[in-house]
Amino acid sequence: MAKISLKLDELIDGVMLRHDMTALTAAHAGDGSGPATRAAVLQLLKARLAGGRKIAEAMLREDGGGTACAARLSHVMDEIIRALYDFAATHVYRVKNRSAAERMAVVAVGGYGRGTLAPGSDIDLLFLLPYKQTPWGEQIVEYMLYMLWDLGLKVGHATRNIDECLRLSRTDITIRTSILEARFLWGEQKLYDELLTRFDHEVVRTTGPEYVQAKLAERDDRHAKAGESRYLVEPNVKDGKGGLRDLQTLFWIGKYFYRVRTGEELVEKGVFTEAEYREFLKAEDFLWAVRCQMHFLTGKAEERLHFDIQREIAERLGYTSHPGLSAVERFMKHYFLVAKDVGDLTRIFCAALEEEQAKHVPGFNRIFLTFQRRKRKLAGTSDFIVDNHRINVADDMVFERDPVNLLRLFWFADKHGLEFHPDALKLLTRSLGLVGKALRRDEEANRLFLDILTSDRYAELNLRRMNEAGLLSKLIPDFGKIVAMMQFSMYHHYTVDEHLIRCIGVLAEIERGDGEKVHPLSHSLMPGLKKSREALYVAVLLHDVAKGRPEDHSEAGARIARRICPHMGLSAADTETVAWLVENHLVMSMTAQTRDLNDRKTIEDFASIVQSVERLKLLLILTVCDIRGVGPGVWNGWKGQLLRTLYYETELLLT
């Protein structure tokens, strides 16, 4: 990724700002504390802040650098705060001979401490003291805060001495994280240096595992609030799964656990390869660009990428329409691919972290699962082991030795009900180059895939893991084309690939009987469809596989099904069933919801398409899966009743 020149000197001139503030004081008879001077200084600061932001926005449109934009906005704020401190200390509350207690360091913490800000970000400040607060210190802090608030900024602030910072950080993870990210802004540098030295020695050195556990738990809570899926079509760019906060959490944990200050040092420590760290920087840059544009566009700290702003953001970021995909759909596809990359990086990071701690700190693995590392053999294979209750590779050559092991990993995980060890997924992601025509046509590999797809245990979970690791796209290249693809409509809650995987989950639910209350008819039909069960699962997985193409996706999908089903080991009859279901997957819902079901012609027209009771049953179940897999709240009793009516009327006619 080419490094973008920040051009900080074009945004704001700190020296000139101080000069102009001093001139305003002189214009008011040298009285820096009077209300007239304060009002004039406030107007000056407002103008410089607005000017700097306007230039930063123009630069973002020009060079597209998200991280650069966040750094520029942070720089503008740095200069404002430094000039404000100097003005307060020199012209408003001047003290000729300050005592040892009348010293202060202004420190940026939180996101601002990282040297990055979005236009609507909070400004988090720590006013760091050597001892107790003094009247002079109180006046300086109060003056600065009121000026910043009057500038329209949201300011988070604390005034503490070093001992207080350390005491509070031992019990409060949020305070600990804010000090971890602390950055000296202005004032007494020695105070800041002492805080960092003591913080590292007295707090960080002995609390690594505890901090990691707390931050991972915090991440899980955040995901639950923002929406568990990485593929929600209105994602939360800051707090959602695969968003900026996930990347920041990795960095916090990395800095804390490995006791480093920069991302480059994580490469030196062997946590990431250079390529993976470049991926980290690219993902961060893209997410910052999106977030900054959202704030600029809406004029507020908007973190959710709502439908009504997606088109405008796509245009601002320079996306254009291509055949079959609009500019906004191309932008959102890129967004979800980046969110997936963030997931990959999280897995790689956790694997490295666990490996490192297993060597040095007994008991660290309770963070991940148990109190100590327990490995045992896995029945039926020498290529995989059970490591802390999760499936792992026996050695690093497992996939290279036999690429079919890429499928066996998921097959054994499903059979034994095991979660995946991050080491196994990391090696799998790095071994995707082994997937080619030979593996796609391999009889055993396809048998294993069908077993995983049609499993009555963890099909949805394993397919999602397979998709997130990139294997599903490699095995079925046509599926790869709809990975991370959004559908620009209020009706769809998830990307196309996530929708298809959720539909498999709904089908398994119907078969188990979990969905009996929602659609009892579907559940009652499943036992009679044993011969077509495989075809039904494949059809559910492939029904939207041709989305985003210029031609009708149902017809194109049927052609894809006819091409790939024989390689998957399906008979000619099952292949034709899959192709027919894919081609007609919208017919039943369209008929039920848009035609008069009391009109005999409606039933006759539908029956002429279906032609057999077997197909009618399969199409009903596929339709239920399709509607229920779209997202929460889309399925309702009225739709269920319409489908039941159409089914019974058509069954009567066909028999």
pLDDT in tens, 328-383: 989 999 999 999 889 888 877 877 777 766 555 444 444 444 434 568 888 889 99
377 lies in some domain: no
Statement: residue 278 has pLDDT above 70: yes
Instruction: Show the tokens assigned to 153.
Output: 């900024």
Long-range contacts of range 62-65, CB-CB < 8 Å, 24 or more positions apart? 63/4, 64/289, 64/317, 64/318, 65/4, 65/285, 65/289
Angle, helix 533-542 to helix 572-583, in steps of 10 degrees: 40
Instruction: Show the tokens assigned to 123.
Output: 């400004």
Cα–Cα distance measured from residue 21 to residue 46, given in angstroms and rounded to the nearest whole number? 12
* Sign of the four-CA dihedral 40, 46, 49, 51: negative
Q: Which of 410, 445, 475 is the last residue of a domain?
A: 475
Cα–Cα distance measured from residue 35 to residue 311, given in angstroms and rounded to the nearest whole number? 46
Q: Are residues 176 and 229 in the same domain?
A: no
CATH number of the structural domain spanning residue 305? 1.20.120.330
Looking at residue 10, its pLDDT comes to: 94
378 lies in some domain: no
pLDDT tens digit sequence for 458-505: 899 999 999 989 999 999 999 999 998 887 665 678 899 999 999 999
Angle, helix 327-360 to helix 274-298, in steps of 10 degrees: 130
215 lies in some domain: no
Q: Are residues 439 and 514 in the same domain?
A: no
Looking at residue 101, its pLDDT comes to: 74
Q: Are residues 333 and 424 in the same domain?
A: no
Q: Are residues 178 and 224 in the same domain?
A: no
Q: How many domains does the chain have?
A: 4
372 lies in some domain: no
Residue 196's pLDDT band (cuts 50, 70, 90):
very high
Statement: residue 571 has pLDDT above 90: yes
Average pLDDT, the chain: 91
Cα–Cα distance measured from residue 487 to residue 501, given in angstroms and rounded to the nearest whole number? 15
Q: Are residues 602 and 554 in the same domain?
A: yes
* Sign of the four-CA dihedral 169, 268, 465, 372: negative
Statement: residue 424 has pLDDT above 50: yes
Q: Read off the amino acid at residue 368.
A: F
Q: Name, in order, each residue with C-beta under 8 angstroms of 23's C-beta and a sequence gap of 6 or more.
A: none
Q: Write phi, then psi, for 160 (nearest 5 degrees).
A: -145, 155
Q: What is the pTM of this model?
A: 0.83
CATH number of the structural domain spanning residue 19? 3.30.460.10
Residue 241's pLDDT band (cuts 50, 70, 90):
confident
Looking at residue 42, its pLDDT comes to: 97
Looking at residue 367, its pLDDT comes to: 46
2 lies in some domain: no
Q: Which of 178, 206, 234 is the last residue of a domain?
A: 206
Q: Are residues 283 and 417 in the same domain?
A: no
Q: By the 8 A CB rule, do 537 and 453 touch?
A: yes
Q: Name, in order, each residue with C-beta under 8 angstroms of 280's C-beta and a sequence gap of 6 or more.
A: 247, 250, 263, 272, 345
Listing DSSP states for 301-316 in one string gives ---B--HHHHHHHHHH
CA dihedral 65, 66, 70, 72 (to 10 degrees): 10
Across the strands, what pairs with 161?
129
499 lies in some domain: yes
Angle at 215 between CA 214 and CA 219, to 5 degrees: 120
Cα–Cα distance measured from residue 509 to residue 503, given in angstroms and rounded to the nearest whole number? 10
Statement: residue 4 has pLDDT above 70: yes
Q: Which of 449, 475, 501 is the last residue of a domain?
A: 475
Q: What is the mean pLDDT of residues 564-584?
A: 98
- Domain with 342, as residue range(s), is 220-367
Residue 227's pLDDT band (cuts 50, 70, 90):
low
Q: Are residues 18 and 147 in the same domain?
A: yes
Q: Are residues 97 and 19 in the same domain?
A: yes
Q: By the 8 A CB rule, do 127 and 106 touch?
A: yes
Of 317, 179, 319, 292, which is closest to residue 238 (Cα–Cα)?
A: 292
Q: Are residues 459 and 552 in the same domain?
A: no
374 lies in some domain: no
109 lies in some domain: yes
Statement: residue 216 has pLDDT above 50: yes
Q: What is the mean pLDDT of residues 32-57?
A: 95
Cα–Cα distance measured from residue 235 to residue 225, given in angstroms and rounded to the nearest whole number? 12
Statement: residue 219 has pLDDT above 50: yes
Give the whole-number percent of the chain exceeding pLDDT 90.
69
Q: How far is CA 3 from the centre of its chain?
A: 24
Looking at residue 360, its pLDDT comes to: 53
Statement: residue 30 has pLDDT above 80: no
Instruction: Show the tokens assigned to 177.
Output: 């994280």
CATH number of the structural domain spanning residue 457? 1.10.110.30
Cα–Cα distance measured from residue 445 to residue 16, given in angstroms and rounded to the nearest whole number? 69
Q: Are residues 325 and 400 in the same domain?
A: no
Q: Are residues 412 and 461 in the same domain?
A: yes
Long-range contacts of range 395-399, CB-CB < 8 Å, 24 or more positions apart? 396/427, 398/427, 399/427, 399/428, 399/431, 399/434
Listing DSSP states for 445-489 in one string gives HHHHHHHHHT-SSSHHHHHHHHHHTTHHHHHSHHHHTTTT----S
CATH number of the structural domain spanning residue 598? 1.10.3210
Statement: residue 644 has pLDDT above 80: yes
Q: Are residues 266 and 232 in the same domain?
A: yes
Looking at residue 231, its pLDDT comes to: 72
Angle at 219 between CA 214 and CA 222, to 5 degrees: 125
Across the strands, what pairs with 381?
378
Residue of higher predicted confidence among 261 and 153:
153
CA Rg value for the chain: 30
Q: In 10 A of CB 341, how many CB atoms?
A: 18
